[in-house]
Amino acid sequence: MSLKTPKLTVVGAGPGDVELITLKGIKAIESADVVLYDALINEDLLKYASANAELIFVGKRKGCYAFQQEQINELIVSKAKEKGHVVRLKGGDPFVFGRGAEEIDYVRQFGLETYVVPGISSSIAVPAYQGIPLTKRGASESFWVITGTTKAHQLSDDVAIAAKSTATIVILMGMSKLDEIVQIFSAENKQDTPIAIIQEGTTENEKVGFGTIETIVKVVEEKQLTNPAIIVIGDVVKKRVQLASIYKEVNKL
């Protein structure tokens, strides 16, 4: 057992662009004895870890889990007691559909110190990189962020409630439910509502499709859009501002 204090820091890695992580997040990675990281993080962030740190992939790829959540919980505890500081590195923000709170609740039973470093959520950053403001005067007074797939692998009931509003709707993990989403909005006579689908947002592999509720399924087929992607629905999609290329221009600053 390590002489170091067993502790867990849950760190939000941001939406994909390696530079969209906080300084506090970088410092946590640098001080980690063990880093447990998910599939959606930018693995360039692991370069900040100490040469002596143990790096363990615990994410999901193509429907296959490297670890079940219960195993991850147990691994955090065992590694913290063995080595000291465990950093749990999660895509986006760990408290936005990231199970960060669940992991903290579990490990506190075993006496671990626990900390959280917020991250920039893809629900906000990905539309922003495409010039889509989630709120804008005259277009949207609020926005919803909804999971497309619940624990029961069903579309959240909140989508149907949100479809009745004038708010901007951001749906994460919803590509497999796109047909169902389109049906719900069509039932509210919103066939002409603008919609954007952004795959691998804020990364060099970013792909985007724009359309309306009526046309978006065809757009997705034509552009071969798939997960990981977010769905943005609302008038703000047509309020895009023109941006310079993120990768060519921002890196010059």
Residue 88: beta bridge partners? 10, 36
Looking at the predicted structure, is the pLDDT value of residue 139 above 50? Answer: yes
Listed in sequence order, the residues at least 6 apart from 132 whose beta carbon sits closer than 8 Å to its beta carbon are: 196, 232, 236, 237, 239, 240
Active site residues: 38, 60, 173
Tokens 């296959």 found at: 64
H-assigned helices in the chain: 23-30, 69-83, 100-108, 122-129, 158-162, 178-187, 216-223, 246-249
30 neighbors 50 (Cβ within 8 angstroms): yes
pTM of the model: 0.90
Per DSSP, which regions of the chain are E strands? 7-12, 34-37, 54-57, 60-61, 64-65, 85-90, 113-117, 143-147, 168-172, 194-199, 207-212, 229-233
For residue range 181-232, list pLDDT tens digits in order.
Answer: 999 999 999 999 999 999 999 999 999 999 999 999 999 999 999 999 999 9
pLDDT of residue 63: 54
Q: Is the pLDDT of residue 66 over 80?
A: no
Torsion of CA 25, 145, 227, 131, to 10 degrees: -80
Phi and psi at residue 97, to the nearest 5°: 55, 35
